[in-house]
Amino acid sequence: MENKIYASFFSRLIAFIIDFLVLFIIGALVCLYLLSFSNSDNFVGNIILFIIYLLSVHIILAMVVNTYLISTFGGTIGKLISGIKVENEDGTNLTFKQAFFREYIAKMASSAFLGLGYFWLLKTPKKQTWHDMICSTVVVKKKSLILGLVTLLLFLVIKLYLCVHIATSLIGLSKSMNTSTFNETKYNIDISDNPIITTY
């Protein structure tokens, strides 16, 4: 009955690196997109847009998406690509609540002693980390590379669409609302009156 192959330390590390890279690449793309139409006038505005992106899409949305992916498909994009799956010890999928608890609360226990809890899988028979032990979960090998790649593609498309949509709509909104006030604000400050600038 027990014919599960538990995921090794390295396959879990690779999954983590892929997850990290996906988020990093998306962040970099958004940053490049915002920089591409930056000038001295809207530079600060674009920095603020990037911070909004980091706080909302990059962190909060990623939390929700990761939890959803784990509860539905058994793993984040990295895990799905590297062919590993998180499941309960009895083989069932995690619920949304369980997945959130495992990812964002129980993992704090593993991180407590400089990440000692992550290395604990090297000495347990079921290759469980501390957060796995707390949540009674195991990470097993499953061949689901295609599912992972499809999910990655979908995730990339959705997230980039969201970012571009939010950014362009915010920029459009600001342009339409501030056409008059924007210029007034800009030219009300007459720098020729400023002795510092004049003398320079």
Where does this chain bind another protein (CB under 8 A)? 40-45, 48-49, 51-52, 55-56, 59-60, 104-106, 108-109, 112-114, 116-117, 130, 133-136, 170, 173-174, 177-178, 182, 185-186, 189, 191, 194-197, 199-200
CB of 82 to another protein, least distance (A): 26
Q: What is the Cα 145 distance to its own chain's centre?
A: 20
Q: Which is nearer to another protein, 11 or 110 (CB)?
A: 110
CB of 145 to another protein, least distance (A): 31
Q: Which is nearer to another protein, 85 or 102 (CB)?
A: 102
The stretches of the chain forming alpha helices (DSSP H) are: 9-36, 43-53, 62-73, 77-81, 96-101, 107-111, 116-119, 130-135, 145-188, 195-199
Contacts of 91 (CB under 8 A, 6+ apart): 4
What are residue 6's DSSP bridge partners?
Answer: 140
CB of 84 to another protein, least distance (A): 21
d(CA 148, CA 142): 11
Q: Which is nearer to another protein, 84 or 135 (CB)?
A: 135
Q: Which is nearer to another protein, 72 or 185 (CB)?
A: 185
Q: Which is nearer to another protein, 26 or 80 (CB)?
A: 26
Strands 137-141 and 84-88: antiparallel
CB of 92 to another protein, least distance (A): 17
Residue where the block lists tokens 């995730």: 155
First-last CA distance in the chain: 82
Q: Which two tokens stand for residue 43?
A: 């530079």
Residue type present at position 61:
L
CB of 195 to another protein, least distance (A): 4
Q: Which is nearer to another protein, 98 or 151 (CB)?
A: 98
CB of 173 to another protein, least distance (A): 6
Residue type present at position 141:
K
